Amino acid sequence: MRDRVHADWDPRDESVQQDQIAAYDDLRRRCPVAHSDYLHWSVLSHSEVRRILEDHSTFSSAVSRHLSVPNGMDPPEHGDYRRIIEPYFSAANMRDFEPRCREIARELARELATEVELIGAFAQLFSLRVQCAFMGWPASLHEPLRQWTLKNHRATLAGDRAELAAVATEFDGYIRQLLDERRAQGEAAPDDATSRLLRERVRGRALTDEELVSLLRNWTVGELGTITASVGILAHYLAEHGELQRRLRLEPALLPAAIDEILRIHGPLISNRRITTREVDIGGRRLAAGERVSIIWASANRDEAVFGDPDAFRLDRDPADNLLYGAGIHVCPGAPLARLELRLVMEALLAATEQWSLLPGRTPLRARYPGSGFSELWLAVTPAR
């Protein structure tokens, strides 16, 4: 018999928002599949999250009333679009983009003040500039996209459907203008990711504007939010762990593994959604068909059953256990780009400084759901000589 649905917790409660990671740890230990009015069924354990990721026939990604390419699609439709997207993140494309990405990171790192609010003055700027550079978008979009990201976050937190629709329409306008400009340029259009997408075909036809806008919206939202959060989380962790900061300056080859481990400890992405296609038991709870499910990445990646002490920093963990970029058919196609950007930005920060630490008297402000990381992070920076 199906559980009588009641609220096990309130994701928007102030006690949760003050420290989401600690709140999810507590909830996972006492209620690994928890119900709330806001997030519906939240799944917090590593094993059950892996089960959901591998059973897309029971846990569908088609959760939205609106087109979502390819995040909100199931097989076989998902595969048709995924095959278009993956080549954009090939090893060759990453090598081609690396010099420009490194240049952006170094320029911003050299401009750091000795006392800096890192999120607004560095992390957001880095994510905006590299996203626009990768897509071939003009610098004039940097500030509009930054403001759009803030509005989208506020509307998502408030659950304001009208505002969410208005924010989506605003973004669509930016993208449609870019597409129209490329079409008008014809053969003179720059040969970049945006122009190439206009030439892609799915099932023997060109992508529609609706599909292109949805795809680009998903890329941009994922890129701007998670890269900004990741840079803040990494900088904060190294500010609190000076010995590791010094070690990474001496052994930069350790950066890729260290970045993945720090972002396991404090996930930059809180959750993703699914919907059940049939009645199913999970984590001791019975869910009916049509129930909405939230995968809590920031909890699953700290599950003691897999990682022991979730706060223990270790470079010898099995990478297959780390769900930083997901798993299964929906594993993040942009993971190679994210890893490149985060490695280069941390290399630039470490090279441009002798050290950084938390600025006394300025307590870091944690981001509120659906964000992760920090909304404000003040650092004291000693520039390199």
Per-residue pLDDT 10s for the chain (385 aa) are 344 578 999 999 999 999 999 999 999 999 999 999 999 999 999 999 999 999 999 999 999 888 999 999 999 999 999 999 999 999 999 999 999 999 999 999 999 999 999 999 999 999 999 999 999 998 888 888 888 877 877 777 677 778 878 888 888 898 899 999 999 999 999 999 999 999 999 999 999 999 999 999 888 877 888 999 999 999 999 999 999 999 999 999 999 999 999 999 999 999 999 999 999 999 999 999 999 999 999 999 999 999 999 999 999 999 999 999 999 999 999 999 999 999 999 999 999 999 999 999 999 999 999 899 999 999 999 999 8
* The pLDDT of residue 206: 94
Angle separating helix axes 77-85 and 209-240, nearest 10 degrees: 70
Q: How far apart, in whole angstroms, are the C-alpha atoms of residue 197 and residue 376?
A: 36
* The pLDDT of residue 4: 54
* The pLDDT of residue 218: 87
Domain 71-270+310-383, second-level architecture = Orthogonal Bundle (1.10)
Domain regions of the chain by residue span? 71-270+310-383
**What phi and psi, each to the nearest 5 degrees, are found at residue 374?**
-135, 140
* The pLDDT of residue 273: 96
* The pLDDT of residue 47: 98
Q: What is the CA radius of gyration of the chain?
A: 21
* The pLDDT of residue 192: 92
The model carries a pTM of 0.94
